[in-house]
């Protein structure tokens, strides 16, 4: 029983919209009421009722070292007595900027902010200022934060003008956002033909994470890079999720493509709120005070967040870190696929590095449309079954899951054992 979580949720419902501070936490996609967490250690979290779970959410990706890594905790504890915020520059900000530039050769200048949404908003503003254009191109299923320009869904036709995906987004602003399917080369080329020399920026999650994990097809990102270069359109890689997660240099290292602008977050804060955007010097030098594009933030470069990020980046840079993490993730995802096949449950598992999604479908998941064909009701039963067995996956079919270096062989074995039971139950129910 989750009595304390239930009581807290009842209280929260009268205080917060839907009882939560971020929508997916409400468990609307999987049914039931959300759990309230009390603590985390390593790869496990404990709720307010004392139940423990193997965590594959990991704060939606930042905790690549797991919860409360002792070196990160020690670093933050050392920094805390010196102050929580100054509204002035610190040496640690310079060090974090140096680490980002080392990892991402495309980032010659970087500005620290407080969230991924803030980073993408600013990157788009820079692109529009640099090009003198207003239209932007995005891809279905790619989430770039809740800024007005990015909360747009496409019409049924290729490269049609969008309609706002959320009330409160002005139609005039939505009409400046062009949306095409991810991984669709023909639609991509049509968009650049129809809106020739009108696009300020094309923004993409190089590995989609917010429709579930969807890798790019061979040639897709390369074509996008070529088209943007030909038409003077700024290419923005949203690596808030993939940066330092799928590789030290993010997806742009993995796929050998250099964008004009990059947005970062999650891992670079080590679990504390942070974001960043950066790119070529000629673009970034337009940002105030070097240039006329205004952007500011009281808590930008917060010393505690920067300290946690620096220590995290130091640890993941150590030899063998990614090799072990990726191998363990592969063992888990291959195991899940095998258990599903044994139970005759249709399941497709997409993985890039240490991020993955299990889609309940028979068909390959290559874009938002094919992701939507997955059986969300089946996923909800799977989620609840795994939760009952002490395994915490993202409470939505359309979110990526993650592993951390705190996960080990024992946790993977325990997860696969739970999955065997749940998938068998799903198969029996279908019969």
Say whether both 154 and 303 belong to one domain: yes
Q: Using one digit for the tens of pLDDT, what is the confidence trace for 173-191?
A: 888 999 999 999 999 999 9
Beta strands in 22-108 (DSSP E): 37-41, 44-47, 52-55
Say whether both 57 and 88 belong to one domain: no
Say whether both 78 and 106 belong to one domain: yes
Q: Using one digit for the tens of pLDDT, what is the confidence trace for 41-93?
A: 999 999 999 999 999 999 999 999 999 999 999 999 999 999 999 999 999 99
- Higher-pLDDT residue of 155 and 26 is 26
In the predicted model, is pLDDT for residue 431 greater than 60? no
- pLDDT class of 150 with cuts at 50, 70, 90: confident
DSSP per-residue string spanning 215-244? PPPTTHHHHHHHHHHHHTPEEEEE-TTTBT
Say whether both 130 and 182 belong to one domain: yes
**Six-digit token string for 201:** 């920026």
Say whether both 226 and 323 belong to one domain: no
Say whether both 310 and 339 belong to one domain: no
Query: How many residues comprise the chain?
Result: 431
Query: Residue 374: what pLDDT?
Result: 96
What is the span of the domain harbouring residue 335?
3-68+319-430
In the predicted model, is pLDDT for residue 430 greater than 70? no
Say whether both 217 and 365 belong to one domain: no
Say whether both 140 and 155 belong to one domain: yes
Q: Whole-angstrom Cα distance, residue 36 to residue 392? A: 12
Say whether both 308 and 345 belong to one domain: no
Say whether both 52 and 74 belong to one domain: no
The structural domain count of the chain equals: 2
Domain end (from 266, 297, 316):
316
- Higher-pLDDT residue of 2 and 325 is 325
DSSP per-residue string spanning 320-372? THHHHHHHHHHHHHHHHHHHHHHTT---EEEEETTEEEEE--SS---SHHHHH
Domain end (from 262, 281, 316):
316
Q: Using one digit for the tens of pLDDT, what is the confidence trace for 364-385?
A: 999 999 999 999 999 999 999 9
Q: What is the mean pLDDT of the chain?
A: 94
Cβ contacts of 56 within 8 Å, gap of 6 or more: 391, 392, 393, 394, 401, 402, 403, 415
**Angle in degrees, CA 115, 59, 167, rounded to 5:** 55
Domain end (from 316, 349, 369):
316
- pTM exceeding the 0.75 threshold for the entire prediction: yes
Q: Whole-angstrom Cα distance, residue 62 to residue 343? A: 33
Say whether both 14 and 93 belong to one domain: no
CATH code of the domain containing 182: 3.40.640.10
C-alpha distance from residue 183 to each of 159, 180, 206, 209, 365 (Å): 14, 9, 10, 14, 11
What residues act catalytically?
143, 238, 266
In the predicted model, is pLDDT for residue 155 greater than 60? no
CATH code of the domain containing 45: 3.90.1150.10
Say whether both 286 and 344 belong to one domain: no
């Amino acid at each position: 029983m989750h009595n304390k979580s239930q009581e807290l949720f009842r209280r929260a419902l009268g205080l917060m919209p839907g009882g939560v501070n971020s929508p997916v936490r409400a468990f609307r996609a999987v049914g039931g009421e959300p759990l309230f967490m009390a603590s985390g250690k390593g790869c496990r979290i404990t709720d307010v009722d004392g139940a423990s779970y193997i965590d594959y959410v990991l704060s939606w990706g930042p905790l690549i070292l797991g919860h409360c890594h002792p070196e990160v905790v020690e670093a933050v504890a050392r920094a805390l007595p010196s102050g929580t915020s100054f509204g002035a520059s610190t040496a640690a900000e310079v060090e974090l900027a140096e680490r980002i530039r080392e990892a991402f050769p495309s980032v010659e200048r970087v500005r620290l902010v407080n969230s991924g949404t803030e980073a993408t908003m600013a990157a788009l503003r820079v692109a529009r200022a640099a090009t003198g254009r207003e239209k932007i191109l995005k891809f279905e299923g790619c989430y770039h934060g809740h800024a007005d320009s990015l909360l747009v869904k496409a019409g049924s036709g290729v490269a049609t003008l969008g309609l706002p995906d959320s009330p409160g987004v002005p139609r005039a602003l939505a009409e400046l956002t062009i949306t095409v399917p991810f991984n669709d080369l023909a639609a991509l080329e049509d968009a650049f033909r129809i809106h020739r020399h009108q696009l300020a920026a094309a923004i993409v999650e190089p590995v989609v994470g917010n429709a579930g994990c969807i890798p790019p097809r061979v040639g897709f990102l390369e074509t996008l890079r070529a088209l943007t270069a030909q038409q003077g359109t700024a290419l923005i890689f949203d690596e808030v999720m993939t940066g330092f997660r799928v590789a030290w240099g993010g997806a742009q290292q993995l796929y050998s493509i250099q964008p004009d602008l990059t947005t970062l977050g999650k891992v670079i804060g080590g679990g504390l709120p942070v974001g960043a955007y950066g790119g070529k010097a000629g673009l970034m030098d337009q940002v105030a005070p070097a240039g006329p594009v205004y952007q500011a933030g009281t808590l930008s470069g917060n010393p505690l967040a920067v300290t946690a990020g620096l220590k995290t980046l130091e640890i993941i840079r150590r030899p063998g870190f990614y090799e072990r993490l990726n191998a363990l993730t592969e063992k888990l995802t291959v195991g899940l696929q095998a258990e599903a096949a044994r139970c005759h449950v249709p399941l497709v598992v997409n993985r890039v590095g240490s991020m993955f999604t299990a889609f309940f479908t028979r068909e390959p998941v290559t874009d938002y449309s094919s992701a939507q064909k997955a059986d969300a009701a089946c996923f909800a039963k799977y989620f609840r079954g795994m939760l009952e067995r002490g395994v915490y996956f993202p409470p939505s079919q359309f979110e990526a899951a993650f592993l951390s270096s705190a996960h080990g062989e024992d946790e993977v074995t325990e997860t696969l054992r739970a999955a065997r039971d749940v998938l068998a139950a799903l198969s029996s129910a279908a019969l």
